[in-house]
Amino acid sequence: MEQIKVFLDTDWWMFFASISSGIFAAIATLIAVWLTNRETRKQLKQQKEQHEREIDLQNKANKLVIIKPTILLSSFVGLLDRIIVQNNYNRELLISGEDGFEFFDNPEKRQKQMCRILHIENTSDCNIMDIIISTMSCLEDRNTNELKKYETKNVIKLLRSKESIDIRLANQEQYESIIRMNQERIPNEFKFECRVDYSTQADQRITYCYIVKISNDRCIEIEKDEIEKVENVGKTELYNSTVFRNLQDYITIDRASYIWEKMGQSQARGLISLVGSGAVQQGNNIIETEEKEGEKTE
């Protein structure tokens, strides 16, 4: 029986082509996975950064403090009376310039001088720190163009929620000049500028500007009452506090008795006004009745 021998010739080109295609497919798969992972990591990083920015913005919005300035016309005894009647137990800080606190420590001036006072209140629920209050006031005699200027700079380390600061608009010299010019009917103009820099708990430094112009001690124009600048700060500088007076320390009477006395006086005035208006109406009715009777008689 004849045997047939078959010789197989290996196709090396096909062999290497198959191996190469497998290697290229594996490499392509690895590159695709690497690119996908890189894109995923990039997206996750962007989402994390966006989330952190949103948290930071929300934190700054929650801890943003906008102070509330108000001009008061009062004696300093009137300020103490206001604190008692409003049942306010929060600190109310009185600040001054280089001329000191003689205007307040002198009992007669404290009781009789009716001053214009800038009342700055932290109405938010957050504390503010490192408060720098810079003021500049200028009184001008419109007849002679004479100027009297007064500048102050004070630092308060901490102003808690609902606490406030009081600043005189004019010093003693300007105050006496305004009284004299009003009596002599001399036209005058008084300009007061106040800038308050303070730090919030969200690591922000805010500058609030308040500018007011008062003509002849009567016409008041607010030229600026707004936030001037907001900066993000990592660490604030260290400041030393200047001397101030806490008006709460000067209340030496029984608050409850004083409030009840005030309420009694208010009720008495209300009763007197009611009785007075009733008496006036009764008198008018009597007059009308007499007039009608007189017409009938005629």
pLDDT tens readout for residues 160-198:
999 999 999 999 999 999 999 999 999 999 999 999 999
The whole-number pLDDT of residue 143 equals: 92
Q: What is the DSSP letter of 209?
A: E
The whole-number pLDDT of residue 280 equals: 46
The whole-number pLDDT of residue 47 equals: 78
**Structure-model confidence comparison of residues 188 and 238, the more confident one:** 188
Structure tokens at 197: 């820099």
The whole-number pLDDT of residue 3 equals: 56
**Structure-model confidence comparison of residues 7 and 247, the more confident one:** 247
Edge to edge, the sheet with strand 188-199 lists 147-159, 128-141, 188-199, 204-215, 219-232
The whole-number pLDDT of residue 131 equals: 94
146 pLDDT above the threshold of 90: yes
Edge to edge, the sheet with strand 115-121 lists 68-74, 115-121, 164-168, 92-95, 245-246
Beta strands in the chain (DSSP E): 68-74, 92-95, 115-121, 128-141, 147-159, 164-168, 188-199, 204-215, 219-232, 245-246
What average pLDDT does the structure give for the chain? 83
129 pLDDT above the threshold of 50: yes
**Structure-model confidence comparison of residues 92 and 296, the more confident one:** 92
Percent of the chain residues topping a pLDDT of 90: 50
What value does the mean pLDDT take over residues 85-96?
A: 92
The whole-number pLDDT of residue 51 equals: 73
Of 80-84, 102-106, 266-270, the poorest mean pLDDT is in: 266-270
Distance separating alpha carbons of residues 18 and 29, to the nearest angstrom: 16
Under 8 Å between Cβ of 130 and 236: yes
Domains of the chain with CATH codes: 68-255 (2.60.40)
Structure tokens at 251: 């209340």
Of 21-25, 35-39, 112-116, the poorest mean pLDDT is in: 21-25
Of 142-146, 215-219, 235-239, 242-246, the poorest mean pLDDT is in: 235-239
Structure tokens at 148: 């009297």
What value does the mean pLDDT take over residues 270-283?
A: 54
238 pLDDT above the threshold of 90: no
The whole-number pLDDT of residue 7 equals: 46
What value does the mean pLDDT take over residues 272-295?
A: 55
Per-residue pLDDT band at 28 (split at 50, 70, 90): confident
Percent of the chain residues topping a pLDDT of 70: 81
pLDDT one-digit tens code per residue, 201-226: 888 899 999 999 999 988 999 999 99
